[in-house]
Amino acid sequence: MSVVLADAPVLNVDAIRRDFPILDLVVNGKPLVYLDNAASSQMPQAVIERLVHYQQHEHANIHRAVHYLSETATREFEGAREKVRRFLNAKEAREIIFTRGTTEAINLVMHGYGRAHLAAGDEIILSSLEHHSNIVPWQMLAIEKGVVLRVIPMNDEGELLQEAFRKCFNANTRLLALTHVSNALGTVNPVQAMIDHAHSLGVPVLIDGAQAAPHKAVDVQALDCDFYAFSGHKLCGPTGIGVLYGKADWLEAMQPYQGGGDMILSVTFEKTDYNVIPYKFEAGTPAIAAAIGLGAAIDYLQSIGLEAIEAYEHELLAYATERMKAMDGIRIIGQAKEKSAVLSFEVSGVHPHDVGTILNDEGIAIRTGHHCAQPVMQRFHVPATARASFAFYNTRDEVDRLMEGIAKVREIFA
Amino acid sequence: MNDSRMLYQEVILDHNRKPRNYGRLEGANRHAEGHNPLCGDHVRLSLNVAGDRIESLAFEGEGCAICKASASMMTGAVKGKTVHEAEELVSEFRGMATGNLDPEGEHHLGRLKVFAGVADLPSRVKCAILPWHTLHAALNAEESVSTEESVSTEEE
């Protein structure tokens, strides 16, 4: 009996592209090809309009006053929190903390859990694929507390070595801090199995979801991770807003990250009683408009469907990979079996910054550099790479433009 | 309209392919290293300065075509010059790369004018200037320079 695979859900990409006004831009006389989505994605008109509507009709400070606008803003802000809860399938909205982004979310866990609960000799496991934002906070803790960091190595394809991973654990292990998808290489880590393993040894897990949440459906209850962090601006929302999901039991046990207004129940000069979660972790006036914009971005992505987005991007990556492999003098860095739509590459004999400048002249935006993942660069013995990262609004035509641009790089440097 | 050929002229590509004065100078009496942590460009300079004259110099390192060609052409331009003349070139080159010196005006840059195009590319200015910063450091007996100030988390 033969198995018939269902066709991948087809996206109407022409219609989708019309939702993004910036994609009509002409750069250096050529239509923009935006392939830097792993750094930041673009914003659809619906989200732009939601931000404008908020500022024109709904803005006041939240959780403060009894007047109409404050109540409206509070309702919309808390409504956005509920949208995030559904997006991640968290059990309760109070498990969703708004932060400035993934970086602040990880720093919050470092302060609230790490500084409050870890001591000299305790160990934290990281992976060699981490972004600096999931390395540096833990290094700061290591210096302050004498905590030991262990790093899971990877193979030449950019996949974490699972046997070595299991050997990182011992009686002192207190946390696994792991990226869901590598920003530099696109590797999708087998987070479910890794979380399960850590939990079997009683170790909590923080997942950096900055590169995963925009591209695949995430279910924090199914994953059973203890913390999950992501950023708004990588999933078609505004900058300055991100999310930390944490299991309520952990959040209750953690110390506040910052002190100030909104995170208290009562204050005297002798003593302060902290507010309940999530407010305990949201000191000061938050990015209200940005949070509401993030809610609108989630609505937009869900109207297309994360499964459809993942399938479409997977197909686009396969096409781009195939075309790039057919070119001479190009090395793809990171060829994991499970990959998100990221292509890191080297053009033989040409520094990535020269590649980036020449592609920019062709209207093509890619990222060149170390991608805030210098340990990954060191692992592959390169100072930097060129990286094309795709979103659901990119097309095969744009992949072709990229390949023509790379051919021009090769021609100039021949 | 911008064209890559404006910046990547043959002279730059040639110096990138075949850098002049590449290597380490035996018996050098001045050294400096320059580093751009944002892109990994790295330049090491060794000079022999006799009296107030740069007798010879060499560079080695890793970097993009702009950085390598700039270093290569710099070594040719300052060899045999006095320290004062070299510093004047450093200042003029920096001025041109940052758009503060008219390449068509009066200066001593000569063929180094091919780098005028980086002034339109803010992200590439540092690539072109790094070797010149490093030269300035070497002439002022500083051992290393960075395009960014940095503090290390590594414990001493």
Within a domain: A192 = yes
Answer whether residue A7 is part of any domain: no
Three-class secondary structure assignment of chain B:
CCCHHHHCCHHHHHHHHCCCCECCCCCCCEEEEEEECCCCEEEEEEEEEECCEEEEEEEEEECCHHHHHHHHHHHHHHCCCEHHHHHHHHHHHHHHHCCCCCCCCCCCCHHHHHHHHHHHCHHHHHHHHHHHHHHHHHHCCCCEEECCCCCCCCCC
- Considering the domain boundaries, does residue A91 fall inside one? yes
Q: Which residues in A374-411 are b (16+ Cβ under 10 Å) and which e?
A: bbbbebbebbbbbbbbbbbbbbeebbebbbebbebbbe
Confidence (pLDDT) at B147: 73
Q: Please report whether residue A100 resides in a domain.
A: yes
Read off the DSSP letter of residue A188: B
Residues 324-363 of A with CB under 8 A from B: 350-354, 357-358, 360-361
Residue A373 forms contact with B (CB below 8 Å): no
Last residue of a domain, one of A279, A303, A327: A303
Residue A227 is assigned to a structural domain of this protein: yes
Domain-located, residue A5: no
Token look-up 């407010």 returns: A279
Entry pTM: 0.93
Q: Which of B1, B13, B64 sits opposite A353 (nearest CB)?
A: B64
State the total domains in chain A.
2
Interface of B with A (CB under 8 A): 1-5, 7-8, 13, 38-42, 62-66, 121, 123-124, 127, 153, 155
- Cα separation, A323 vs A309, whole angstroms: 21
Q: Are residues A314 and A273 in the same domain?
A: no
Task: Give, to the nearest 10 degrees, the angle between helix A288-304 and helix A68-88.
Answer: 40
Does the annotation mark A372 as catalytic?
yes
A·B CB contacts under 8 A = 56
Q: Are residues A61 and A189 in the same domain?
A: yes
**Separation between Cα atoms, residue A131 and residue A183, nearest integer Å:** 7
pLDDT band at B123; cut points 50, 70, 90: confident
Residue A30 located in a structural domain:
yes
In a domain, A167, yes or no: yes
Q: How many residues does chain A have?
A: 414
**Do A147 and A280 fall within a single domain?**
yes
Q: Crossing angle of helices A288-304/A45-57, nearest 10°?
A: 150
Token pair for B109: 């840059």
pLDDT confidence band for B145 (50 / 70 / 90): confident
Domain limits for position A142:
48-303
Distance (Å, whole) CA A338 – CA A354: 30
Boundary of a domain, candidates A303, A329, A345: A303
| Alpha carbons A243 and A102: distance in angstroms, whole number | 7
Which residues on B lie below 8 Å from A29 (Cβ)? Answer: 1-2
Predicted local distance difference test score (pLDDT) of residue A18: 98
Percent of chain B surpassing pLDDT 70: 93
Confidence of residue B11 (pLDDT cuts 50, 70, 90): very high
Chain A interface mutation, best of B4, B35, B42, B150, highest count of A Cβ atoms under 10 Å: B4
Query: Does A354 contact B121 at a Cβ distance shorter than 8 Å?
Result: no
State whether A246 and A106 are in the same domain: yes
Residue of B5, B42, B127 with shortest CB distance to A353: B127
Per-residue CA distances from A317 to A307, A387, B47 (Å): 15, 12, 49
B20-78 pLDDT, tens digit per residue, is: 999 999 999 999 999 987 777 899 999 999 999 999 999 999 899 999 999 999 999 99
CATH number at residue A253: 3.40.640.10
Examine the domain organization and report whether A292 and A167 are in the same domain.
yes
Q: Determine, for residues B40 and A383 on separate chains, whether the beta-carbon distance falls below 8 Å.
A: yes
For residue B149, the model assigns a pLDDT of 57
Which domains are assigned to chain B? 4-142 (3.90.1010.10)
Instruction: Answer yes or no: do A102 and A78 share one domain.
Output: yes
Q: What is the dihedral of CA A23, A24, A28, A30, to 10 degrees?
A: 100
Given a cut of 70, whether residue B150 has pLDDT beyond it is no
Q: How far apart are CA B135 and CA A294, in angstroms?
A: 49
Neighbour-count burial of B99, counting CB atoms closer than 10 A to its CB (0-12 exposed, 13-18 middle, 19+ buried): middle
Tally of CA atoms within 13 A in the half-sphere of A257 that contains its CB = 23
B1 CB neighbours in chain A (<8 A) are: 28-29
Do both A261 and A211 map to the same domain? yes
Tens-of-pLDDT digits for all 414 residues of chain A?
Answer: 444 445 545 799 999 999 999 999 999 999 999 999 999 999 999 999 999 999 999 999 998 889 999 999 999 999 999 999 999 999 999 999 999 999 999 999 999 999 999 999 999 999 999 999 999 999 999 999 999 999 999 999 999 999 999 999 999 999 999 999 999 999 999 999 999 999 999 999 999 999 999 999 999 999 999 999 999 999 999 999 999 999 999 999 999 989 988 888 899 999 889 999 999 999 999 999 999 999 999 999 999 999 999 999 999 999 999 999 999 999 999 999 999 999 999 999 999 999 999 999 999 999 998 889 999 999 999 889 999 999 999 999 999 999 999 999 999 998
Question: Quick one: tokens of A12?
Answer: 């109407």
